């Protein structure tokens, strides 16, 4: 089936709603107007892709994402894409993510603070600017020894959170 440009634009704009980023079915408002999103005719178009299968990106302001109180010392904000989950953890000194594992690869970036991570008989000290890649199904635990901001990226997406399963941090009250 060949689409004219009007039919394609309609299909493309309706496709964005098919796989929205979300957090507990309450996504932050997407940013879709000027000055952060404007028309750029001819830009960002790749022949053979853009004409039939590309979906527009969705822009969010993370600070507008709902904040969940996971435990007295741990809060999170997250967005879920089609294949991954992005989360910002706000952790007070003493916050703990007890020993656990999950099927997701986890990339952790500490942007503020300090955490001690234990895994496989080793202790890793993470401070602002350090990044750790945790392979799928690798046991690990975090103890934040200072107030910490932790940015995590999970792939595939955290289906357990989408399904309403509490974070492991909720078990460490």
Which H or E run contains 15? helix 5-15
pLDDT digits over 50-81, tens only?
Answer: 566 677 888 999 888 899 999 999 999 999 99
DSSP SS3 for 155: strand
Give yes or no for residue 101 having a pLDDT over 90: yes
- The confidence band for 16, taking pLDDT boundaries of 50, 70 and 90, is very low
* β-sheet bridge partners, residue 132: 108
What pLDDT shows up at residue 25? 52
Distance CA(39)–CA(108), nearest Å, equals 34
């Amino acid at each position: 089936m060949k689409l004219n440009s009007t039919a394609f634009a309609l299909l493309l704009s309706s496709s964005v709603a098919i796989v929205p980023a979300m957090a507990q079915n309450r996504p932050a408002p997407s940013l879709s107007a000027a000055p952060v999103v404007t028309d750029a005719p001819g830009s960002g178009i790749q022949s053979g892709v853009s004409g039939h299968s590309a979906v527009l990106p969705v822009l969010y302001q993370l600070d507008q994402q709902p904040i969940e109180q996971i435990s007295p010392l741990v809060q999170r904000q997250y967005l879920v894409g089609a294949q991954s989950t992005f989360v910002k953890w706000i952790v007070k000194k003493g916050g703990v993510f007890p020993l656990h594992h999950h099927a997701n690869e986890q990339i952790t970036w500490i942007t503020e603070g300090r955490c001690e991570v234990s895994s496989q008989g080793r202790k890793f000290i993470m401070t602002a600017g350090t990044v750790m890649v945790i392979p799928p199904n690798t046991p690990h635990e975090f103890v934040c020894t200072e107030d910490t901001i932790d940015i995590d990226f999970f792939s595939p997406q955290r289906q357990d959170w989408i399904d309403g399963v509490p974070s492991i941090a909720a078990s460490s009250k």
